[in-house]
Amino acid sequence: MVRAVIAIHGGAGAIARASMRAEQERHYTQALADIVARGQAVLAAGGSALDAVTEAVRLLEECPLFNAGKGAVFTHEGTHELDASIMDGRSLEAGAVAGVRHIRNPILAARAVLDNSPHVLLIGDGAETFAAGQGLEQVAPDFFSTAARWEQLERARNTHQVLLDHGGAAAGYRESDEGEKAGWPRDNAGVAGDVAREAGAMAGSAGEPLDADRKLGTVGAVALDLEGNLAAATSTGGMTNKQAGRVGDSPIVGAGCYANNATVAVSCTGTGEVYMRLLAAYDIAAQMEYGGLTLAQASDRVILHKVPELGGSGGAIAIDRTGNVALPFNCEGMYRGYGYVGEAPVTSIYREEPGAENNKEQEDDE
C-alpha cells in the first residue's frame, strides 16, 4: 500500500546559529511544520501529488520568511523578477514561468501553464499576459518588497556582490513590521498569518537561523499521493543584486525541478548556474533509472559530490516511487520538512539535530 508523503524546503546555506534564540528558530520550524501539515491534509483527502505541491509552494510564497513571492530579493536595478516551475510525474507534463513581476503566486502561473497551455515555459510579459488571462491575481511590484530585502540589496551593491540568499537578517536588518504589513492571508487554513507576523517581529530582533548573506534562496515541494503519483514544484525570487533578466535553475525543468513516476520527484535549491549545467534534478532520476542507484545513493552523488566539484553549493529534496525521502545538502543547513499522511511533520534546519536525518527510508522498502 502506498504511503502518501510530502517534503518541502525553504532554501539552504550557512548557519548563524550562535546569534539565534530557541524561540526564533521555532518560528521557522513552525512555519515549515504548518505547511507540511497542509500538504498532508491535501493528500489525506485523496488529493493529487500535483495539488499538494502546488498548495505547499503557494504557502511558501505567501510567507515573507522565504525568498519566493512576498519577501523576494531585489535585482541590481531594485526590481523583482520571480521564477517557478512544476512537473507531474504521472504524465511528464510541466509548466514554468520566469522573470515575472506582477503575478502574486508564480507557482499558480506555472500550474496554469501546465494545465492550460501547449507550452512548458513562458517568460516576462508573455507570462504576465497569460496569467492575467487565466484570472490569476496581479499585484503591484512593491507587493513583494520588504525593508529587509532592500537593506540586503544595498549591502550587495556596496560590496559588488551577487548574493545567493534569502534576506538580510544576519547583518542586523530590521523587519519588525513586515510580517504585520504583509503576512499570510487568513484563508490559509492551518497556516495563519500569526506565524508570519511573529516571524517578522523575530527577524527584526536578531535574524534568521541561516546566514542570510550566504543563503541559497529557493522554495520547493515534492509529494507522492495515494495513487502512487509523484510531483515536484519549485519557486524563487532569484539572487540579490542579480543582473536583470538572469534566470536560474528554478524554472528549468530537469535542473531545479523534475518528477517521473518511474523514479523520483526532486526540487533543488542552490547555485543555479551549476544546477543548470548538471541538470541536477534530472541527474538524480537518471542515476536511479540507468545506474540502478537507490534514492539515497543517487541524491548524495549529485548533491554531495557532483555539485561541489563544479564549485556549487546547496541541497535538494526528493521522494521516490516507493515513498522514501531524501533531504541532502552540502552546506551547513537547509530549511526542510516532511510528513507521511497520518504522522506528525518532521522539520529541521541544521545538519545535526533531532529528526535531521537526510534520508528517510520506509521499513517495508525492498
Determine the angle formed by the axes of helices 49-62 and 22-44, rounding to 10 degrees.
150
| pLDDT value for 154 | 73
- Alpha-carbon distance of 68 to 106, in angstroms, equals 9
Please report the pLDDT score of residue 270 as a whole number. 92
Query: Which pLDDT value is given to residue 217?
Result: 73
Residue range 8-30: mean pLDDT, rounded = 79
User: What is the SS3 assignment for 33?
Assistant: helix
Q: Which pLDDT score, from 0 to 100, does residue 290 have?
A: 98
- The Cα 106–Cα 165 span in angstroms is 19
Q: What is residue 210's predicted lDDT score, i.e. its pLDDT?
A: 59
Of residues 51 and 171, the one with the higher pLDDT is 51
For residue range 178-229, what is the model confidence (pLDDT) as tens digits?
333 333 333 443 443 434 443 444 344 345 665 555 555 799 999 999 999 9
Q: Do residues 8 and 32 touch, judged by C-beta distance below 8 A?
A: yes
Mean pLDDT, residues 10-23: 72
The pLDDT of residue 55? 98
* pLDDT of res. 65: 86
* pLDDT given at position 344: 98
Report how far residue 204's alpha carbon sits from residue 179's, in angstroms, rounded to the nearest whole number. 10
Separation of alpha carbons 305 and 318, rounded Å: 17
Contact, 197 vs 179, CB < 8 A?
Answer: yes
10: cell is 525553504
Judge whether 12 and 164 are in contact, CB under 8 Å: no
Q: Which of 271, 336, 266, 355 is nearest to 10 (CA)?
A: 336
Do residues 139 and 167 touch, judged by C-beta distance below 8 A? no
Question: Average pLDDT, stretch 105-131?
Answer: 98
Return d(Cα 218, Cα 210) in angstroms, integer: 13
Residue % of the chain over a pLDDT of 90: 60
Residue 194: CA count within 13 A, CB half-sphere: 6
Residue 195, all three cell numbers: 506565524
What is the distance between the alpha carbons of residues 221 and 219, in angstroms, rounded to a whole number?
7
d(CA 107, CA 98): 10
Q: What's residue 15's pLDDT?
A: 59
Looking at the predicted structure, is the pLDDT value of residue 64 above 90? no
Q: How far apart are CA 95 and CA 111, in angstroms?
A: 6
The mean pLDDT of 117-130, rounded to a whole number, is 97
pLDDT tens digits for 261-316?
999 999 999 999 999 999 999 999 999 999 999 999 999 999 999 999 999 999 99
pLDDT of residue 171: 33
- pLDDT tens digits along 309-350: 999 999 999 999 999 999 999 998 999 999 999 999 999 998
The per-residue pLDDT of the chain, averaged, comes to 83
Contact call for residues 259 and 53 (beta carbons, < 8 A): no
**Conformation bin of residue 54: beta by default, left when phi > 0, alpha when psi is -120 to 50:** alpha
Whether pLDDT at 116 is above 70 = yes
Residue 284: Cβ-neighbour burial (10 angstroms; 0-12, 13-18, 19+):
buried
What own/partner pairs with CB < 8 Å and gap ≥ 24 does 299-307 have?
299/266, 299/326, 299/328, 299/359, 300/326, 300/328, 302/278, 303/270, 303/328, 303/329, 303/330, 304/328, 304/330, 306/278, 306/280, 307/270, 307/271, 307/274, 307/275, 307/278, 307/280
Strand 325-326, strand 257-259: pairing: unpaired
Please state the pTM of the whole predicted model. Answer: 0.85
Active site residues: 218
* Spatial distance between the Cα atoms of 43 and 217, rounded to a whole number of angstroms: 27
pLDDT tens sequence across 68-99? 877 777 776 787 789 999 999 999 999 999 99
